[in-house]
Amino acid sequence: MFINFFFDLKQASLPVSLKEYLMLMEAMNKRVVDSFNVNDFYYLSRSALVKDERYLDKFDRVFGHSFKGLENSEGETEKEIPEEWLKLMGQKYLTDEEKKMVESLGGWDKLMETLKQRLEEQKKRHQGGSKWIGTGGTSPFGAYGYNPEGIRIGQKESRSKKAVKVWDKREFSNLDGDVELGTRNIKVALRRLRKFAREGVETELDLDNTIKSTAHKGYIDVKMMPERRNKIKVLLFFDVGGSMDAHVKICEELFSAARTEFKHMEYFYYHNCLYDAVWKDNKRRYNENIKTWDLLHKYPSDYKVIFVGDAEMSPYEITYPGGSVEFWNEESGETWLTRLLNIYENAIWLNPIPERYWDRISSASIIKQIFSDRMFPLTIEGIDQAMRELNK
C-alpha cells in the first residue's frame, strides 16, 4: 500500500525520491508515531516526503486519493459537493409543495448546477475580501428555502467542526504551484533568475589572494575584491488597457515582486503589441513616451527581456503596418518585436491567459511563434520555467 502511495505521488509529479521513502519507512520502523493512527501517519509522511510548501496541497490530494476509505468519514471530499447527501437532506426537509417548486425551477440537476455556481461565486467573493465592503454572507441555499441548519455549505465554521479528514481540508491549497500567485510566491519564482558576480568597487578582503601574494612577496600584501552582487538586469514590458484590465491584479503583483527582486530593472508599458514607442506613466502616455529605438540603443544586449501581456488582439495588429487600433504604425508590430529579439537574446513572454487557450487565439499563436515558443503562463510554475529559460 505504501509503495502504491509513493508511486501515486511520483505520478502526480511531486518530487519525491527513494531516499525520502526509505526515511519514512525507517521512521515507521522506529515507531516515531503510532502506526495505527492515520492522522499521525499523514503528518509523518508529509514531513518526510514534502519539502516545499508549494507541493503541500498536491500531497494532500494524493494522500486523500491513495488512502480513500481508510477512515470512516461522511460524504465525499470537500472539493465536491456530495450530491447524494444533498438530495437526501432535501427530501428530508422539504415539504411536497416545496419539492414541486424545486421541480419547477428545472429539477435537481439544474438546481445542483446553480448551487455549484453559487458556491463558486461565494468562494471567490470571499477570497476577494469583500468583507470590508459589506457584501457576502448570503447563504447559497437561502434563496431556495432549504433548511440552512441541515446543509451549510461553504461555511468555514461548520466545515472545520465536521469529521473531515485533515488532508481533505486542503489547508495549503493556496500554496499550490498552479494556482494564482501572491507576491511572495512570485518572488520565490523570480529568485531563479540570479547571477552573482563581483563587480565594482573593491571593498572586501580577498583572503586567499592576500595569503598567496604575501607568501610570494615575503611581506603582508593586502588584496581586495568587490562585493558579490546579483547582476541580472531586466527589462519588463507590461501590456495595459483593454483586455488586460482583467489581469491587473496579477500584473501588479508580478511588478512589485520583480521590483524588489531585481536591482537593475526597467519597466515600460505598451498596448497590445510593441510598436515605435512605449511609456512609463500611464497618465502621461501621450506626452511622455519613449521611442522604442532609443530604448533598444540605450540598454545593452545583456538585459533580459520579459513581456507581460495576454497577446489577445486582431492578428493584423501584429503582422501589418497600420494595424494598431490606436494610431497609424509605420512598421508592423512583428517588425518591432523581431528587432527587439535580435538584440536581446534572453527574452520571454508571460501570458496571464491559461495555456490551454493559446492555440485558439490566433494572435497568441503568432506571438508565441515570434518568441520561438518562449511563451509561459503567468503562474508560479510558468514563471519558474520562464526564469530557467532566461538563465540559459
Partner 1 sequence: MKFEGTSSYIATEDLKVAVNAAITLERPIIVKGEPGTGKTMLAHEVAQSLGAEIITWHIKSTTKAQQGLYEYDAVTRLRDSQLGDEKVKDIKNYISKGKLWNAFESNKRPVLLIDEIDKADIEFPNDLLLELDKMEFFVYETGETIKAENRPIVIITSNNEKELPDAFLRRCFFHYIKFPDPDTMEEIVNVHYPEIKKDLIQEAFKIFYDIREVPGIKKKPSTSELIDWLKLLMTDDVDAKILREKDPKKLIPPLHGALLKNEQDVHLFERLAFISRRENENLE
* Other residues' Cβ atoms within 10 Å of the Cβ of residue 114: 15
Interaction of residue 172 with partner 1, rule CB under 8 A: yes
Instruction: Figure out which of the listed residues 5, 46, 308, 352 binds partner 1, where binding follows CB under 8 A.
Output: 46
Q: Which one, 21 or 237, has the nearer CB to partner 1? A: 21
Cell (9 digits) for 184? 511572495
Interaction of residue 214 with partner 1, rule CB under 8 A: yes
Instruction: Figure out which of the listed residues 27, 164, 240, 290 binds partner 1, where binding follows CB under 8 A.
Output: 27
Could you give the CA distance from residue 305 to residue 314 in angstroms, rounded to a whole number? Answer: 24
Instruction: Figure out which of the listed residues 12, 23, 119, 290 binds partner 1, where binding follows CB under 8 A.
Output: 23
Interaction of residue 212 with partner 1, rule CB under 8 A: no
Could you give the CA distance from residue 174 to residue 184 in angstroms, rounded to a whole number? Answer: 12
Interaction of residue 224 with partner 1, rule CB under 8 A: no
Instruction: Figure out which of the listed residues 160, 338, 369, 391 binds partner 1, where binding follows CB under 8 A.
Output: 160
**Backbone CA torsion sign across 370, 371, 372, 377:** negative
Interaction of residue 211 with partner 1, rule CB under 8 A: yes
Total of residues contacting partner 1 (CB under 8 A):
42
Q: Which amino acid is at 380?
A: I
User: Is residue 86 a contact partner of residue 144, using CB atoms and an 8 Å limit?
Assistant: no
Instruction: Figure out which of the listed residues 4, 13, 40, 137 binds partner 1, where binding follows CB under 8 A.
Output: 40
Chain centroid, CA 349 distance in Å: 15
Instruction: Figure out which of the listed residues 56, 278, 347, 353 binds partner 1, where binding follows CB under 8 A.
Output: 56
Interaction of residue 33 with partner 1, rule CB under 8 A: yes
User: Is residue 60 a contact partner of residue 167, using CB atoms and an 8 Å limit?
Assistant: yes
Could you give the CA distance from residue 19 to residue 13 in angstroms, rounded to a whole number? Answer: 16
Q: What is the DSSP string of 338-383?
A: HHHHHH-SSEEEEESS-GGGGGG-HHHHHHHHHTTT-EEESSHHHH
Q: Which one, 122 or 363, has the nearer CB to partner 1? A: 122
Interaction of residue 26 with partner 1, rule CB under 8 A: yes
Interaction of residue 184 with partner 1, rule CB under 8 A: yes
CB of 22 to partner 1, least distance (A): 10
Could you give the CA distance from residue 257 to residue 187 in angstroms, rounded to a whole number? Answer: 5
User: Is residue 333 a contact partner of residue 349, using CB atoms and an 8 Å limit?
Assistant: no
User: Is residue 164 a contact partner of residue 196, using CB atoms and an 8 Å limit?
Assistant: no
Instruction: Figure out which of the listed residues 84, 171, 199, 326 binds partner 1, where binding follows CB under 8 A.
Output: 171
Could you give the CA distance from residue 120 to residue 170 in angstroms, rounded to a whole number? Answer: 16
CB of 12 to partner 1, least distance (A): 17
Interaction of residue 19 with partner 1, rule CB under 8 A: yes
Q: Which residues bind partner 1 (CB under 8 A)?
A: 15, 17, 19-20, 23, 26-27, 30, 32-33, 39-40, 43-44, 46-48, 50-53, 56, 128-129, 131-134, 160, 171-172, 175, 184, 188, 191-192, 194, 207, 211, 214, 220, 228
